Chains A and B, each alone.
Chain A
Amino acid sequence: NAGVTQTPKFQVLKTGQSMTLQCAQDMNHNSMYWYRQDPGMGLRLIYYSASEGTTDKGEVPNGYNVSRLNKREFSLRLESAAPSQTSVYFCASSEPGTATRETQYFGPGTRLLVL
């Protein structure tokens, strides 16, 4: 199994450009997440999707939109990129059992530089 895959691995954008980060999981998980990781700040949740057809804002949703295309795929879109969005983006998925024992499985990340 591939687990969680993300494309692209690297991207350089100019301020104002748009792009979509793709994420897919083959574990038949219901929940999917998008995080950004910045130095010294751990992982911050941007958006999540508890199940197919639902999406909700996380801690830092401004400047982003998401689409839960189907159970496997969850995309993150930057409509007008800003230098503050330079970061490493991680997608994750999980299969909620009891809330206290959930494991999130992460993709390898997309490194985004906005000039």
Chain B
Amino acid sequence: TQLLEQSPQFLSIQEGENLTVYCNSSSVFSSLQWYRQEPGEGPVLLVTVVTGGEVKKLKRLTFQFGDARKDSSLHITAAQPGDTGLYLCAGAGGNNAGNMLTFGGGTRLMVKP
């Protein structure tokens, strides 16, 4: 079983602060996805990173895939209350059959106004 560990599990910050969420594994993945989930809803894909060392930006969110394709990070600049939610990383490929995804345990973010 491949494991993806996310840290921290919980994060409560003030509006305007910066934060980084980490997703680590001992396994190599072909790609790494980040999802965001709001209360009462299903996860929604934010980004997919494929190449080792790849950096993608989505407005105030910056995603990076580790050089060895075993880890990833999500950095949010100047967090807003609208960023509040559960952030999930998910790895594809590696030892997974077909198109299966392995999900991390999630980071629950609360941004206070």
Q: Contacts A42-B104, A108-B41 hold; do A100 and B9 have CB atoms under 8 A apart?
A: no
Main SS of the interface on chain B?
loop
CA distance A92 to B35 in the complex (A): 13
> Is there a chain B Cβ closer than 8 Å to A53's Cβ?
no
Chain A 60-98, CB within 8 Å of chain B: the 1/0 string?
Answer: 000000000000000000000000000000101010100
Residues of B within 8 A of A48 (CB): 100
Residues of B within 8 A of A59 (CB): 1
CA distance A99 to B99 in the complex (A): 5
CA distance A107 to B40 in the complex (A): 10
CA distance A31 to B101 in the complex (A): 13
Question: What are 11 of the A-B contact pairs (CB < 8 Å)?
Answer: A40-B106, A42-B4, A42-B88, A43-B88, A48-B100, A99-B99, A100-B93, A101-B31, A103-B48, A108-B41, A109-B41
Rounded to whole Å, the gap between the CB of A108 and the closest CB of chain B is: 6
Residues of A within 8 A of B103 (CB): 35, 42-44
A102 and B99 contacting across the interface, CB-CB below 8 Å: yes
B92 and A100 contacting across the interface, CB-CB below 8 Å: yes
Residues of A within 8 A of B43 (CB): 43, 90, 106
> Is there a chain B Cβ closer than 8 Å to A13's Cβ?
no
CA distance A29 to B35 in the complex (A): 20
**Residue among A4, A90, A99 with most chain B CB within 10 A:** A99
> Is there a chain A Cβ closer than 8 Å to B11's Cβ?
no
Residues of A within 8 A of B93 (CB): 99-100
> Is there a chain B Cβ closer than 8 Å to A27's Cβ?
no
B101 and A104 contacting across the interface, CB-CB below 8 Å: yes
Chain B residue at minimum C-beta to C-beta distance from A107: B42
Residues of B within 8 A of A90 (CB): 42-43
B42 and A103 contacting across the interface, CB-CB below 8 Å: no
Residues of B within 8 A of A43 (CB): 43, 88, 90, 103
CA distance A35 to B30 in the complex (A): 21
